[in-house]
């Protein structure tokens, strides 16, 4: 999932451009859109397409190159945790002095700290990708919210008409 974007020397490429491109729909990007021309079936179909798009974004996030390395690191760490009690038992039984036990614990501590540093390095490498994925999620959610509001507006109108509720309070006064 490596993506190289080259700038023209005058424009900064990176998070600033991405933020402009995907200006978040939560901030009102889609307020002017009128969905009343579409029927409910079309709106529900678009909601299902948006759901599939969200799942593609999510699974795309889990397929990042550095995320795969993190999976391998977790697998190695779990294997090391499962086999380490055997190592500790062998070291305790085989050594009579505390010096070899101290070296063993020092090596285990260094390996654990190395694992944590490796995970920190991986998360820093994925920071921009994760920010872009977050922006895509928010944009997709804003579109879904717009469709949900339109469907709710239609249900409100349906029940208002069905129950005979009037729009204006002055309509309740008797005209004489």
Is the per-residue pLDDT at 111 higher than 70? yes
Neighbours of 93 (CB within 10 A): 8
Write the DSSP symbol of residue 172. Answer: G
Average pLDDT over residues 153-157: 91
Q: What percent of the chain has pLDDT over 90?
A: 17
* Residue 17 pLDDT class (50, 70, 90 cuts): very low
CA distance 18 to 23: 8
Residue predicted with more confidence, 3 or 174:
174
Quick one: pLDDT at residue 156?
A: 92
Is the per-residue pLDDT at 176 higher than 60? no
Measured CA to CA in angstroms, residue 111 lies from 71, 84, 101, 103, 107 at distances of 17, 12, 15, 12, 6
pLDDT, one tens digit per residue, over 59-108 is: 888 888 888 888 888 888 778 767 766 666 666 666 666 666 677 777 77
CA angle 163-165-169, nearest 5°? 165
Q: How high is the mean pLDDT of the chain? A: 76
């Amino acid at each position: 999932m490596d993506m190289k974007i080259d700038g023209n020397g005058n424009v900064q490429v990176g998070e600033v451009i991405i933020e402009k491109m995907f200006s978040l729909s939560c901030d009102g990007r889609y307020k002017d859109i009128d969905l009343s021309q579409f029927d409910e079936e079309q709106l529900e179909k678009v909601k299902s397409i948006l759901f599939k798009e969200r799942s593609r974004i999510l699974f795309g996030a889990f397929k990042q190159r550095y995320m795969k390395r993190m999976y391998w690191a977790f697998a190695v760490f779990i294997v090391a945790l499962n086999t380490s009690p055997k190592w500790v038992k062998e070291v305790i039984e085989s050594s009579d002095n505390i010096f070899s036990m101290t070296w063993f614990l020092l090596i285990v501590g260094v390996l654990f700290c190395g694992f944590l540093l490796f995970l920190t390095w991986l998360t820093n490498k994925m920071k921009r990708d994760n920010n872009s994925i977050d922006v895509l999620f928010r944009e997709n959610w804003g579109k879904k919210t717009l469709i949900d509001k339109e469907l709710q507006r239609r249900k409100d109108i349906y029940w208002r008409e069905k129950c005979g509720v009037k729009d204006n309070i002055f309509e309740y006064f008797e005209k004489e």
